[in-house]
């Protein structure tokens, strides 16, 4: 297996043999509040994000930042408290429950954290794929054969083996195959490589990139793993329920949100502590931040 | 689906088992009830004589049908029941008069023609009659009278108009002997007809006795038109195998309506079958109460457990439902996925349960019930199967519904959202229903299904409430233990507080134990009442009914067999024909208590019955002798023309002995007469006229002149005796006190003993006889009276019939609720006291010997036989009790044992299931504590303690609820087939030993099961559990 090849493929994301099939994702002012211990907690407090069709994006950020919440909103598993989520032509925030069911059946594949949570333990990998295809078939969607799906993720040799006989890496591939069973336009993965050995992790990542390359599927994964992030062409850092920055090809960027605010990278925040008065200069096409000496917002 | 079922084999097995039990309960009830009803029917029918179950059509000849023969009666049989009977036996019968020998008076006899009669006779000579006028005579008559074949008898043919005047001349028929017969015993053919048995006996005809002759057997042709009084009958033996509980009602209604006649003129359709059926329907009615009462509760428990287990199973399938939704299935679709798997699993239990119920009923049918009960699957069993299917499906649907209501995000969480610990609708509903049921039962206003389910509802409410209240208690206890540093008890308490299994286990164990306690108590209470009834019915462990008519002879024979009187005792029972009369039971007051059973709850004061210590005086000889000295004054009334009104003219005063003859007949014997006025003395020498001896009953003074107004006398009688031998009766203590005829009476008779062997009587009478009775029998015999005081009497004084049938004055020494044999109405008197009155046994009376030890029966039988007394019947307490225990009610109550055992097994199953379904979570929780440093043995002990506490709390609640249910719901359980007021009164106080035994049995099963289950979970506490994700 060649990492270089994978990277090469990822750079050509969304352009498989059958053309772009991925679904774009966009959010605007996305807010999600949940209730815990009698208090309202804002998991997301205004996320503006656009993922292009066929793109591979990693969601990064500390625990509790709202990555998984964002992912579940993308998957139509929850409804946002405010704002909009659009996946392809679907505006998820206004869809009825049966529409959301059909959306999950055909347009989105979700990998939950922990491979076993994605699989019916008493079925083989092939049977799990077949199980996952039923709703899509019922909804009138053409679905690939289970063998094709399993071959794509590289699990065709273990298609009929009992799940409890598979090693963790193959189990995760099986989970991936199940999420791809209906050939969705969007694949969402919550820590798809967690609890895996390096080798297995790479196998899974290879499979993800292969899916993206061959089917053009848009892929959004949550990860804590820097190595995994390094292999993704685009990463979005979620911090305190908002988009905190982006990384593209190893470069870190701050992202201006829809309301014009700009979360500064951590290193910049150290230089400009909260409350610091900053003057924005534009000179020769370059915007500069100039700290006002001794000035604070409250003083 | 099969893969899913196979994946959780143990759980599937439990679900299948529960569905099997629910189905078995629902279907076994109708199967068992049906088999029992058939058994009761078979027992009643097979135990009844063939004649009792046969259908008889009778008819005489009428003007409209002057040649009626038996065959023509067949049309009168109701078509609805004809198929139940086999080919009929026809009979024609009329009376004849036969002079057995020339010169002898005619003896009455019968001329009988019967279908195929010669096939049921042994012809000792001659041939079967085939022509008109030919007859067979009995071989015995032939031998006795020397009748020969070809001999002819002339008999008068009875006339219908024999009472008309002038009487028409007799018509005479000639009967020719063509052979002689002996009867082949065949009850199925002969039914109630008996041809022989009269030969060699004497029968009374008017004031004369003539020799009896057996029936003459002939053909129907003999009964030509002249026999206008001949009675025809057609008897249809019942094809017993065709009579079923299904056609009982039809048979009863058809035969009952035809009993008094038929469409045919002068034809009567009769059958005793409705009476036999009545005894069966009584048992049927009771079964239809008991079986549902017991089985419905068990089915309810099984259904509730099925629901609980299904809930646990559904809880385990949350990840699968979440996956289904994740892959696009709707809420309903995800629910259907789980329902399909669980539904298929429980569906497997339906045929198994049905098979189990059929198998169980088959075992009961083959081993316990009466022979001849057919194998049947009544429609109600299929209804039960359907109901079980509905209940199982409902349990699954109810368990899955909460899953369907949850959002996908909720399903994705590892544990379901926690529920409030406050009282829910189910708790409040259960408490309300239980309270309603309890109040309804206590006030006897509740009937129907809710009444039957009240015991279960009470336990359900108890279990739910206690398990709710236990949560804060456990929390408080846990905090207290933790603050004192007691980790183990704190872990136990917090475990109880946190785990939902607690509610389920406590509730189920409560219901199961309550049912077991109720069932165990029901069996013991029923047995107690059957024992009491059987003891009352038989009176003693063994009762030998004799043919003796002589109370004294029996008493002597029994005394010879058992001089101590502690093993066998004579008893006389005299029942009168009149309805509402008070029967008498005469017992040996001294020995009776050591041999006979005492009616339940009674202490019979038999000591009050003992005879006075005065020996009976028997007068036997030629003449009464002695000397009388008197001083008499009298006053007279002028009562009739010619009467002078002078006292000196009054007729003398009689001094008389009242005696009883050898047969107990009251007699009077004159001792002497004394003038109505004046003084004097005279020797007594009066014929006794008691050749067989008389018992001295008393002495009286009777003015013989109707004009007597007042007599005052002092009479000394010295040396009163028989044939010069003094009777030695002068001691005043040997005589009863004088009892005037009425309270207002001024009559007096006082006896003193001025010198040895002299009785001085101070008499004052207003013209009536005044007397004293001898003290061997009290003036009023003390008795124990049960039931109403006989008409015309009071408890202090009433009349009862003695052994000899003679009425005697009795005073009540005690009013017990019941007496042996006579039941709720009767009087118990002393045998030896009544024996002193003499006489033979009154008609309607029986003399029997009661034995304490049934093993002595043969010895006593032989002893009685040696005394010339035969034993006619033997009644055993055990037989009487078996009869009650195998009645419809008996079999029904026995079902309680089944429900008790099944309840405990179900509870044990729940304990196991709750452990199996929750062990991963428990093991993971405790593994986390282990990682924090808590020692494994401590964790395991806490787990065992937690499980045992659940079982014990549930058991305690169950015992209390079961005891309450036993108290209020036992009256619902009919213990006897006979619906009339039970005697002795029912004693349905809960049996403490039964309750304790049922509790112990429950604990012996549930504690080890709980401990083993907890140990199993405890063994799985390991650090690797923390990493488990599914």
User: Cβ(B696)–Cβ(B642) under 8 Å?
Assistant: no
Q: What pLDDT band is residue A129 in, cutting at 50, 70 and 90? A: very high
B326·A110 Cβ contact <8 A? yes
- Residues in B closer than 8 angstroms to A191, CB to CB, are none
Q: What pLDDT band is residue A7 in, cutting at 50, 70 and 90? A: very low
Q: What is the pLDDT of residue A9?
A: 33
B586-609 per-residue burial string, b: 16 or more CB within 10 A, e: under 16: bbbbbbbbebbbbbbebebebeeb
Q: How far apart are CA B385 and CA A163, in angstroms?
A: 39
Q: What pLDDT band is residue B448 in, cutting at 50, 70 and 90? A: low
Question: Does B407 lie in the same domain as B301?
Answer: yes
Determine the average pLDDT of the residues in A102-120.
Answer: 88
Interchain contact A98–B (C-beta under 8 A): yes
Cα torsion at B969, B970, B976, B979 (round to 10°)? -40
- Please identify which residue in the block is written with the tokens 């068992």: B32
Q: How far apart are CA B852 and CA B875, in angstroms?
A: 12
Q: What is the pLDDT of residue A288?
A: 86
Count of all residues that appear for chain A in the document = 299
Cα distances from B1018 to residues B211, B600, B945, B950, B954, in angstroms, run 96, 54, 11, 16, 22
User: Cβ(B338)–Cβ(B15) under 8 Å?
Assistant: no
| N-to-C CA span, chain B | 19
Q: What pLDDT band is residue B369 in, cutting at 50, 70 and 90? A: confident
Contacts of B47 (CB under 8 A, 6+ apart): none
Q: Is A205 helix (H, G, I), strand (E, B) or coil?
A: helix
Interchain contact B329–A (C-beta under 8 A): yes
Q: What pLDDT band is residue B774 in, cutting at 50, 70 and 90? A: very high
Question: Does B396 lie in the same domain as B317?
Answer: yes
Q: What is the pLDDT of residues B13-31, one digit of tens each?
A: 888 988 898 898 889 888 9
A182·B323 Cβ contact <8 A? no
> What does residue B826 show for φ and ψ, rounded to 5 degrees?
165, 175
Q: Is B939 helix (H, G, I), strand (E, B) or coil?
A: helix
Q: What is the pLDDT of residues B851-900, one digit of tens each?
A: 999 999 999 999 999 888 888 889 999 999 988 888 878 887 878 888 88
Q: What is the pLDDT of residue B122?
A: 94
Q: What pLDDT band is residue B167 in, cutting at 50, 70 and 90? A: low
Q: Is B7 helix (H, G, I), strand (E, B) or coil?
A: helix
User: Cβ(A121)–Cβ(A163) under 8 Å?
Assistant: yes
Question: Does B373 lie in the same domain as B282?
Answer: yes
Residue B62: inside a domain: no
Interchain contact A70–B (C-beta under 8 A): no
Residue B1004: inside a domain: yes
A178·B328 Cβ contact <8 A? no
Q: What is the pLDDT of residue B642?
A: 62
Q: What is the pLDDT of residue B1019?
A: 79
Q: What is the pLDDT of residue B464?
A: 87
Q: How far apart are CA B196 and CA B210, in angstroms?
A: 16
Interchain contact B876–A (C-beta under 8 A): no
Q: What is the pLDDT of residues A241-269, one digit of tens each?
A: 888 888 887 788 888 877 788 888 777 88
Q: What is the pLDDT of residue B207?
A: 56
H runs (alpha helix) in B204-247 = none
Closest residue by Cα to residue B510 from B914, B997, B950: B950
From B753, B773, B793, give the residue that closes a domain.
Answer: B773
Helix (H) or strand (E) holding B209: strand B208-211
pLDDT above 60 (res B426): yes
Q: How far apart are CA B808 and CA B779, in angstroms?
A: 9
pLDDT above 90 (res B693): no
Interchain contact A9–B (C-beta under 8 A): no
Closest residue by Cα to residue B1029 from A231, A121, A212: A121
Closest residue by Cα to residue A194 from A166, A212, A171, A160: A171
pLDDT above 70 (res B686): yes
B3·A72 Cβ contact <8 A? no
- Residues in B closer than 8 angstroms to A78, CB to CB, are 407, 409
DSSP secondary structure, B621-640, as one string: SSEEEEEEEEEEEEEE---S
Q: Is A32 helix (H, G, I), strand (E, B) or coil?
A: strand
Cα distances from A217 to residues A23, B16, B170, B945, in angstroms, run 7, 45, 127, 56
Q: What is the pLDDT of residues B525-542, one digit of tens each?
A: 999 999 999 999 899 999
Q: How far is A196 from chain B (nearest CA, A)?
A: 14
Q: How far apart are CA A23 and CA A1, in angstroms?
A: 28
- Residues in A closer than 8 angstroms to B7, CB to CB, are 121-122
B1030·A117 Cβ contact <8 A? yes
Q: What pLDDT band is residue B181 in, cutting at 50, 70 and 90? A: very high
B326·A72 Cβ contact <8 A? no
Question: Does B525 lie in the same domain as B567?
Answer: no
Determine the average pLDDT of the residues in B782-803.
Answer: 89
pTM: 0.71
pLDDT above 80 (res B194): yes
Q: What is the pLDDT of residue B166?
A: 65
CB atoms within 10 A of CB B246: 12
Show the domain range for B523: 417-539+877-1030
Mean pLDDT lowest for which of B259-263, B765-769, B919-923, B966-970?
Answer: B259-263
Question: Does B740 lie in the same domain as B662?
Answer: yes
Contacts of A13 (CB under 8 A, 6+ apart): A54, A55, A56, A212, A213, A233
Interchain contact B260–A (C-beta under 8 A): no
User: Cβ(B31)–Cβ(B287) under 8 Å?
Assistant: no
Question: Does B738 lie in the same domain as B600?
Answer: no
Closest residue by Cα to residue B796 from B808, B773, B780, B817: B780
- Residues in B closer than 8 angstroms to A98, CB to CB, are 330
Q: What is the pLDDT of residues A73-87, one digit of tens each?
A: 999 888 899 999 999
- Please identify which residue in the block is written with the tokens 């079902």: B895
Cβ-nearest to B6 among A78, A117, A122: A122
Q: What pLDDT band is residue A4 in, cutting at 50, 70 and 90? A: very low
pLDDT above 80 (res B663): no
Interchain contact B333–A (C-beta under 8 A): yes
Residue B69: inside a domain: no
Q: What is the pLDDT of residues B293-331, one digit of tens each?
A: 777 778 778 888 888 888 888 888 888 889 898 888 888
B320·A127 Cβ contact <8 A? no
Tell me whether strands B781-786 and B121-126 are parallel, antiparallel or unpaired: unpaired
ipTM for the predicted complex comes to 0.86
Residue B73: inside a domain: no
Percent of chain B scored above 90 by pLDDT?
Answer: 30
Cβ-nearest to B327 among A98, A121, A132: A132
Question: Does B725 lie in the same domain as B675?
Answer: yes
B816-827 per-residue burial string, b: 16 or more CB within 10 A, e: under 16: bebbbbbbbbbb
Q: What is the pLDDT of residue B681?
A: 92
Q: How far apart are CA B903 and CA B922, in angstroms?
A: 27
Helix (H) or strand (E) holding A279: strand A276-283
What is the C-alpha R_g of chain A? 21
B327·A123 Cβ contact <8 A? no
- Residues in A closer than 8 angstroms to B1026, CB to CB, are none
Closest residue by Cα to residue B245 from B387, B77, B385, B369: B369
- In whole numbers, what is the pLDDT of chain B averaged over residues? 85
Q: What is the pLDDT of residue B977?
A: 78
Q: What is the pLDDT of residue B415?
A: 59
A residues 217-276 closer than 8 Å to B (CB)? none
Determine the average pLDDT of the residues in A46-64.
Answer: 89
A101·B4 Cβ contact <8 A? no
A105·B412 Cβ contact <8 A? no
Q: What is the pLDDT of residue B1027?
A: 53
Q: What is the pLDDT of residue B647?
A: 64
Contacts of A2 (CB under 8 A, 6+ apart): none
What secondary structure, in 3-state letters, does B259-282 show?
A: CCCCCCCCEEEEECHHHHHHHHHH
Cα torsion at A209, A210, A214, A216 (round to 10°)? -20
Q: What is the pLDDT of residue B414?
A: 61
Interchain contact B319–A (C-beta under 8 A): yes
From B178, B206, B237, give the residue that closes a domain.
Answer: B237
Question: Does B365 lie in the same domain as B286?
Answer: yes
- Residues in B closer than 8 angstroms to A118, CB to CB, are 323, 326
pLDDT above 60 (res B909): yes
Q: What is the DSSP letter of B611?
A: P
Counting the structural domains of chain B, the total is 5
User: Cβ(B503)–Cβ(B443) under 8 Å?
Assistant: no
- Please identify which residue in the block is written with the tokens 């065992």: B944
Interchain contact B317–A (C-beta under 8 A): no
B1030·A127 Cβ contact <8 A? no
Task: Count contacts between A and B (CB, < 8 Å).
Answer: 64
B323·A118 Cβ contact <8 A? yes
A120·B409 Cβ contact <8 A? no
Q: What is the pLDDT of residues A271-286, one digit of tens each?
A: 888 888 888 888 888 8
Cα distances from B918 to residues A42, B7, B201, B323, B915, in angstroms, run 34, 16, 89, 21, 5
B323·A119 Cβ contact <8 A? yes
Question: Does B759 lie in the same domain as B639?
Answer: yes
Residue B476: inside a domain: yes
Chain B's closest residue to A118, CA to CA, is: B323
Q: What is the pLDDT of residue A16?
A: 41
Cβ-nearest to B1030 among A104, A106, A121: A121
Interchain contact B108–A (C-beta under 8 A): no
Residue B793: inside a domain: yes
Contacts of B874 (CB under 8 A, 6+ apart): B542, B543, B544, B545, B857
Interchain contact B330–A (C-beta under 8 A): yes
B409·A78 Cβ contact <8 A? yes
Q: What is the pLDDT of residue B826?
A: 92
Question: Does B724 lie in the same domain as B679?
Answer: yes
B323·A139 Cβ contact <8 A? no
Q: What is the pLDDT of residue A12?
A: 36
User: Cβ(A201)–Cβ(A163) under 8 Å?
Assistant: no
Q: How far apart are CA B340 and CA B397, in angstroms?
A: 10
pLDDT above 70 (res B810): yes
Cα distances from B66 to residues B96, B160, B171, B227, B681, in angstroms, run 19, 12, 16, 9, 83
H runs (alpha helix) in B373-448 = 379-405, 408-411, 425-442
| Dihedral sign (CA B819, B825, B829, B831) | negative
What is the C-alpha R_g of chain B? 42
Question: Does B475 lie in the same domain as B400?
Answer: no
Residue B20: inside a domain: yes
Percent of chain B scored above 70 by pLDDT?
Answer: 93
Interchain contact A116–B (C-beta under 8 A): yes
pLDDT above 70 (res B652): yes
Question: Does B553 lie in the same domain as B534?
Answer: no
Interchain contact A72–B (C-beta under 8 A): yes
Q: What is the pLDDT of residue B1025?
A: 60
Residue B471: inside a domain: yes
Alpha-carbon B139 to chain mean position: 46
Determine the average pLDDT of the residues in B102-113.
Answer: 88
Q: What is the pLDDT of residues B607-636, one digit of tens each?
A: 899 888 888 898 999 999 999 999 998 887
Residues paired with residue B819 on neighbouring β-strands, in sequence order: B823
From B818, B838, B869, give the residue that closes a domain.
Answer: B869
Residues paired with residue A237 on neighbouring β-strands, in sequence order: A60, A245
Q: What is the pLDDT of residue B1030?
A: 35
Percent of chain A scored above 90 by pLDDT?
Answer: 17
Q: What is the pLDDT of residue A299?
A: 39
B residues 391-410 closer than 8 Å to A (CB)? 407-409
Q: What is the pLDDT of residue B117?
A: 93
Q: What is the pLDDT of residue A66?
A: 87
| N-to-C CA span, chain A | 59
Cβ-nearest to B330 among A98, A181, A182: A98
Q: How far apart are CA B175 and CA B141, in angstroms?
A: 15
pLDDT above 70 (res A20): no
| Dihedral sign (CA B385, B387, B392, B396) | positive
B1029·A134 Cβ contact <8 A? no
Return the top range by mean pLDDT from A165-174, A264-273, B264-273.
A165-174
Cβ-nearest to B1029 among A77, A117, A182: A117
Q: What is the pLDDT of residue B125?
A: 93
Q: How far is B328 from chain A (nearest CA, A)?
A: 4
Interchain contact A129–B (C-beta under 8 A): no
Q: How far is B478 from chain A (nearest CA, A)?
A: 23
């Amino acid at each position: 297996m060649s990492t270089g090849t994978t990277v090469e493929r990822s750079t050509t994301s969304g352009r498989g043999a059958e053309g772009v099939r991925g679904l774009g994702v966009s959010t605007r002012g996305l807010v999600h509040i949940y209730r815990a211990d009698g208090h309202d907690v804002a998991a997301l407090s205004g996320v503006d994000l656009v993922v292009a069709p066929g793109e591979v994006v990693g969601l990064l950020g500390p625990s509790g930042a709202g990555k998984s919440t964002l992912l579940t909103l993308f998957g139509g598993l929850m409804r946002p408290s405010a704002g909009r989520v659009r996946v392809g032509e679907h505006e998820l925030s206004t869809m009825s429950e049966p529409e959301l069911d059909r959306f999950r059946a055909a347009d989105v594949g979700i990998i939950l954290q922990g491979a076993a949570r994605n699989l019916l333990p008493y079925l083989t990998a092939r049977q799990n794929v077949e199980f996952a295809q039923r709703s899509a078939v019922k909804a009138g969607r053409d679905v690939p054969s289970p063998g094709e799906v399993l071959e794509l993720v590289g699990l065709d040799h273990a298609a009929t083996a009992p799940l409890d006989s598979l090693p963790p890496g193959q189990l995760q591939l099986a989970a991936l195959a199940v999420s791809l069973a209906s050939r969705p336009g969007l694949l969402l993965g919550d820590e798809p490589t967690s609890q895996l050995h390096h080798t297995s992790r790479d196998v899974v990542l290879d499979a993800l990139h292969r899916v993206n390359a061959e089917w053009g599927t848009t892929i959004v994964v949550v990860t804590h793993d820097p190595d995994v992030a390094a292999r993704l062409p685009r990463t979005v850092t979620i911090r305190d329920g908002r988009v905190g920055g982006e990384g593209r090809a190893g470069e870190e960027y701050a992202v201006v949100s829809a309301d014009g605010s700009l979360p500064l990278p951590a290193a910049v925040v150290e230089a400009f502590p909260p409350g610091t008065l900053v003057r924005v200069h534009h000179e020769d096409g370059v915007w500069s931040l100039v700290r006002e000496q001794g000035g604070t917002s409250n003083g | 689906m099969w893969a899913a079922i196979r994946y959780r084999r143990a759980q599937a097995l439990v679900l299948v088992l529960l569905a099997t039990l629910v189905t078995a309960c629902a279907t076994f009830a109708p199967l068992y009830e049906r088999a029992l009803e058939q058994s009761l029917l078979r027992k009643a029918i097979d135990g009844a004589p063939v004649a009792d179950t046969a259908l008889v059509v009778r008819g005489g000849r009428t003007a409209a049908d002057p040649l009626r023969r038996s065959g023509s009666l067949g049309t009168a049989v109701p078509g609805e029941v004809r198929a139940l009977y086999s080919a009929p036996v026809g009979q024609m019968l009329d009376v004849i008069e036969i002079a057995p020998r020339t010169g002898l008076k005619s003896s009455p006899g019968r001329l009988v023609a019967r279908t195929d009669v010669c096939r049921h006779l042994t012809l000792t000579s001659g041939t079967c009659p085939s022509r008109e006028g030919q007859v067979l005579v009995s071989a015995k008559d032939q031998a006795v009278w020397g009748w020969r074949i070809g001999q002819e008898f002339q008999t008068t043919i009875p006339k219908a108009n024999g009472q008309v005047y002038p009487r028409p001349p007799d018509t005479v028929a000639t009967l020719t002997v063509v052979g002689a017969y002996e009867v082949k015993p065949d009850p199925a053919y002969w039914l109630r007809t008996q041809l022989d048995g009269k030969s060699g006996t004497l029968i009374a005809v008017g004031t004369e006795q003539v020799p009896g002759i057996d029936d003459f057997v002939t053909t129907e042709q003999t009964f030509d038109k002249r026999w206008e009084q001949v009675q025809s009958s057609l008897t249809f033996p019942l094809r017993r195998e065709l009579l079923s509980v299904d056609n009982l009602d039809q048979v009863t209604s058809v035969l009952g309506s035809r009993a008094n006649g038929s469409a045919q003129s002068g034809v009567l359709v009769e059958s005793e079958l409705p009476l036999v059926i009545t005894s069966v329907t009584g048992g049927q009615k009771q079964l239809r109460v008991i079986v549902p009462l017991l089985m419905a509760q068990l089915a309810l428990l099984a259904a509730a457990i099925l629901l609980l287990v299904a809930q646990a199973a559904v809880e385990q399938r949350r990840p699968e439902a979440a996956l289904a939704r994740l892959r696009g299935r709707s809420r309903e679709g995800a629910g259907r996925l789980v329902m399909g798997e669980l539904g298929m699993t429980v569906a497997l239990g339906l045929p198994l349960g049905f098979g189990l119920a059929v198998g169980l009923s088959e075992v009961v049918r083959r081993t316990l019930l009466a022979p001849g009960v057919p194998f049947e699957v009544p429609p109600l069993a299929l209804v039960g199967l359907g109901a079980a299917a509905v209940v199982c499906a409902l349990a699954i649907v109810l368990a899955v519904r909460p899953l369907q209501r949850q959002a996908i995000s909720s399903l994705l969480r590892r544990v379901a959202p926690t529920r409030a610990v406050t009282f829910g609708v189910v708790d409040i509903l259960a408490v309300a229903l239980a309270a309603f049921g309890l109040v309804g039962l206590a006030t006897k206003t509740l009937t129907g299904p809710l009444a039957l389910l009240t015991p279960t509802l009470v336990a359900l409410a108890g279990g739910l409430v206690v398990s709710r209240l236990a949560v804060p208690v456990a929390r408080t206890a846990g905090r207290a233990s933790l603050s004192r540093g007691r980790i183990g008890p704190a872990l136990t308490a917090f475990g109880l507080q946190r785990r939902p299994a607690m509610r389920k286990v406590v509730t189920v164990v409560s219901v199961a134990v309550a049912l077991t306690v109720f069932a165990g108590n029901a069996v013991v209470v029923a047995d107690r009442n059957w024992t009491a009834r059987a003891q009352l019915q038989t009176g003693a462990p063994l009762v030998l009914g004799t043919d003796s008519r002589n109370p004294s002879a029996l008493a002597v024979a029994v005394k010879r067999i058992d001089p101590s009187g502690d093993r066998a005792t004579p008893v006389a029972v005299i029942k009168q024909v009149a309805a509402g009369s008070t029967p008498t039971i005469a017992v040996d007051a001294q020995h009776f208590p050591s041999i006979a059973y005492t009616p339940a709850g009674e202490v019979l004061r038999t000591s009050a019955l003992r005879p006075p210590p005065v020996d009976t005086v028997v007068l036997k000889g030629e003449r009464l002798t002695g000397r009388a000295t008197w001083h008499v004054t009298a006053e007279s009334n002028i009562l009739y023309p010619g009467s002078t009104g002078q006292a000196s003219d009054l007729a003398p005063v009689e001094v008389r002995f009242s005696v009883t003859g050898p047969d107990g007949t009251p007699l009077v014997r004159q001792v002497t007469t004394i003038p109505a006025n004046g003084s004097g003395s005279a020797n007594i020498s009066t014929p006794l006229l008691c050749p067989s001896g008389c018992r001295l009953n008393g002495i009286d003074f009777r003015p013989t002149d109707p004009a007597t107004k007042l007599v005052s006398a002092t009479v000394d009688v010295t040396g009163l005796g028989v044939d010069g031998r003094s009777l030695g009766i002068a001691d005043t203590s040997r005589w009863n006190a004088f009892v005037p005829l009425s309270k207002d009476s001024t009559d007096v008779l006082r006896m003193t003993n001025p010198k040895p062997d002299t009785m001085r009587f101070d008499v004052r009478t207003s013209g009536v006889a005044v007397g004293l009775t001898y003290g061997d029998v009290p003036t009023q015999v003390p008795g124990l009276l049960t039931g109403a005081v006989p008409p015309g009497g009071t408890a202090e004084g009433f009349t009862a019939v003695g052994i000899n049938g003679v009425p005697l004055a009795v005073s009540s020494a005690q009013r017990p609720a019941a007496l042996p044999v006579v039941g709720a109405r009767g009087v118990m008197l002393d045998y030896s006291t009544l024996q002193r009155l003499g006489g033979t046994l009154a008609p309607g009376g029986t003399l029997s010997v009661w034995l304490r030890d049934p093993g002595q029966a043969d010895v006593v039988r032989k002893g009685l036989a040696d005394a010339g007394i035969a034993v006619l019947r033997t009644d055993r307490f055990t037989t009487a009790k078996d009869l009650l225990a195998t009645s419809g009610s008996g079999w029904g109550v026995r079902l309680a044992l089944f429900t008790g055992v099944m309840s405990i097994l179900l509870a044990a199953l729940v304990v196991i299931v709750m452990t199996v379904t929750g062990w991963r979570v428990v093991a993971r929780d405790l593994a986390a504590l282990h990682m924090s440093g808590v020692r494994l043995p401590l964790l395991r002990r806490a787990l065992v303690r937690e499980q045992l506490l659940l079982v014990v709390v549930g058991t305690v609640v169950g015992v209390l609820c079961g005891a309450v249910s036993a108290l209020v719901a036992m009256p619902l359980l009919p213990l006897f087939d006979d619906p009339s007021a039970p005697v002795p009164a029912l004693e349905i106080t809960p049996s403490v030993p039964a309750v304790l035994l049922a509790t112990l049995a429950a604990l012996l099963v549930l504690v080890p099961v709980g401990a083993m289950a907890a140990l199993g979970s405890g063994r799985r506490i390991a650090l690797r559990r923390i990493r488990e994700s599914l």
